[in-house]
Amino acid sequence: MVDVILGLQWGDEGKGKIVDFFAKNYDVIARFQGGPNAGHTLYVNDKKIVLHQIPSGIFHEEKTNLIGNGVVLDPVILRKECDAVAAMGVDYKKNLYISERTHLILPTHRALDKASELSKGNDKIGSTLKGIGPAYMDKTGRNGLRVGDLLDKNFTTQYIKLRMKHQRLLDNFNFQEDIGQWEEEFFDALEFLKEFKIVNGEYFINEKIAKGQRVLAEGAQGSMLDVDFGTFPFVTSSSTISAGVCSGLGIAPQKIKEVIGITKAYCTRVGSGPFPTELLDETGDFLRKAGNEFGSTTGRPRRCGWIDLVALRFACMINGVTQIVMTKADILDGLEELKVCNSYRINGEERNDVPFQMNRLNIEPIYKSFQGWHTDISNVSNHDNMPEKMKMYVNHMNEFLQVPVKYISNGPGREQIVTL
């Protein structure tokens, strides 16, 4: 049996914290897509840690963690992450497994990412520049190198061939960067990678499922950044939605039970692209400040705005969301009035759907206003002691989305979560 936790907005919904919270109920925690563009923040013993590729179950000693075939893996960053978790007392060698089909991010992928973004000028995606797009291009273009290839004697020859191809592309971009240092680190990190438990991920996970073990699939990014259904081209390069679990881990769709969608109580986006409910005023500044909305991976300020129920309903539809976790509700404590986007006005017409090419349209959000609860909710522990005004906000979401909000996160701490 497999449950999924994924983001319903433009990423950074608090997936890391929620996966860490739920991990105790599972045997295996598996990342199914994305790479080090992700930054998942956890607080363990009051100490903050940001994970990029390691699944957020790593702090649960007895749990198995798997980096699935759908991930693109940067071994240099993995090594740094491993050092960071080891410093917190985790024996990652014991319970971290990597699929042999996982594609590698090469130093030239990072250079290509940079070159591509530079060439776009004002139309840039706002990529994290971790080489994600170029690595997935080599996967679908059937050129990439995989973790399992490391054990092959032809690895270096294949690497040199691919690097030469990349160099030609970089020359076309007229992009020059000395990647000598990166390459040195990369080859060092490959030796480190070889010491891992490199497994056939699909048999590994299906055998566990057959034995009755419980798997939690951890998504990265968010549904509105999905390569097919997000705000293309301002998206990432992987399938961030529940369908990505099947191809990213080798799991059949019938095995998936709960699809747990995470949304903030408001909305953020980092990088370029459409964001209908963005607030460019002092309320936006308030959310950024109170919510400490700065990228976990790049440190960039996140764009902030009201919750967008049109986009959320779309995300619930394409993912088959069965329950919702609303995070960062405590950030709204300081606001007297809250707004919720129920529909869009486009060319004078009211619409309830997410249109094709949002970026070419002038979308005006139509809001419903709510009175803020305007009290400290950090000590709320159940539905009964939730402020009435907060119940109204949540009830509206339940009715609008037709998917229940089952949990509310009211602080970054590991156990700060209200079960409804």
As annotated, the active-site residues are 12, 40
From the list ligand IMO, Mg ion, ligand GDP, none, partner contacted by residue 328 (C-beta under 5 to 8 A by kind): ligand GDP
Site for ligand GDP in 15-74 (CB under 6 A): 15-17, 38-41
* Contact residue for ligand IMO among 14, 18, 39, 250 (CB under 6 A): 39
User: 75, 107, 248, 271: which one contacts ligand IMO (CB under 6 A)?
Assistant: 271
Q: How far is the CB of 127 from ligand IMO (least distance, A)?
A: 3
Assess contact for 128 and 302: CB atoms under 8 A: no
Considering only residues 173 to 232 of the shown chain, the ones binding ligand IMO according to CB under 6 A are: 220-222, 225
Query: Nearest CA to 214 among 247, 260, 246, 257?
Result: 257
Q: Pick from 56, 69, 239, 296 the residue near Mg ion by CB under 5 A.
A: 296
Q: How far, rounded to the nearest angstrom, does the alpha carbon of residue 4 sit from its chain's CA centroid?
A: 12
Told to check if 55 binds Mg ion by CB under 5 A, we report no
DSSP 42: E
- The reply to whether 12 sits near Mg ion by the rule CB under 5 A is yes
409 touches which of ligand GDP, ligand IMO, Mg ion, none (CB within 5 to 8 A by kind)? ligand GDP
Strand partners, 5: 218, 260
Residue from 231, 236, 263, 277 that binds ligand IMO (CB under 6 A)?
236
> Under the criterion CB under 5 A, does residue 39 sit at the interface with Mg ion?
yes
Q: Say whether 334 sits in a helix, a strand or coil.
A: helix
Cα–Cα distance, 2 to 402 (Å, whole number): 22
List the single partner that 331 binds among ligand IMO, ligand GDP, Mg ion, none, CB under 5 to 8 Å by kind: ligand GDP
CA separation for the pair 183, 186 (Å, rounded): 5
Look-up of token digits 């491993």 = 82
Q: For residues 225 and 233, what is the distance between their CA atoms, to the nearest angstrom?
A: 9
User: Partners of 363 in the beta sheet?
Assistant: 346
Question: From residue 94 to residue 133, what is the string marking binding to ligand IMO with x (rule CB under 6 A)?
Answer: -------------------------------xxxx-x-xx
Per-residue x/- marks for ligand IMO, 296-315, CB under 6 A? Answer: x-------------------
Picked from Mg ion, ligand GDP, ligand IMO, none, the partner binding residue 128 (CB below 5 to 8 A depending on kind) is ligand IMO
Let me know if 227 is exposed, middle or buried by CB neighbors in 10 A (0-12, 13-18, 19+): buried
Please give the sequence-ordered ranges of beta strands (E in DSSP) within 80-214, or none if there are none: 96-99, 103-104, 197-199
**Pairing verdict, β 303-305 and 47-51:** unpaired
Q: Of 47, 67, 55, 56, give the one whose Cα is nearest residue 17.
A: 56
Q: Which C-beta is closer to ligand GDP: that of 74 or that of 330? A: 330
Closer to ligand GDP at the Cβ: 40 or 101? 40
**13 or 308: CB nearest ligand GDP:** 13
Q: Candidates 142-150, 201-209, 336-344, 409-417 — which segment interacts with ligand GDP by CB under 6 A?
A: 409-417
User: Counting contacts by CB under 6 A, is residue 296 touching ligand GDP?
Assistant: yes
Residue closer to Mg ion by CB (options 301, 404) is: 301
**What is the C-alpha separation between 380 and 387, in angstroms, rounded?**
9
327 binds, among ligand IMO, ligand GDP, Mg ion, none (CB under 5 to 8 A by kind): ligand GDP
Interaction of residue 301 with ligand GDP, rule CB under 6 A: no
Amino acid code (one letter) for 361: L
Distances (CA, A) of 365 to 132, 276, 387, 416: 32, 6, 27, 32
Pairing of strands 349-351, 363-371: unpaired
Please report where in the chains the tokens 């707004």 appear, as a residue.
339
State whether residue 106 is helix, strand or coil.
Answer: coil
12: left (phi over 0), alpha (psi -120 to 50) or beta: left
**Residue 203 Cβ vs ligand IMO, minimum distance, rounded to whole Å:** 27
In this structure, what token pair is assigned to residue 96? Answer: 């971290």
Interacting residues with ligand GDP (CB under 6 A) = 7, 11-17, 38-41, 296, 327-328, 330-331, 409-412
Interacting residues with ligand IMO (CB under 6 A) = 7, 10-12, 34, 37-40, 125-128, 130, 132-133, 220-222, 225, 236, 270-271, 296
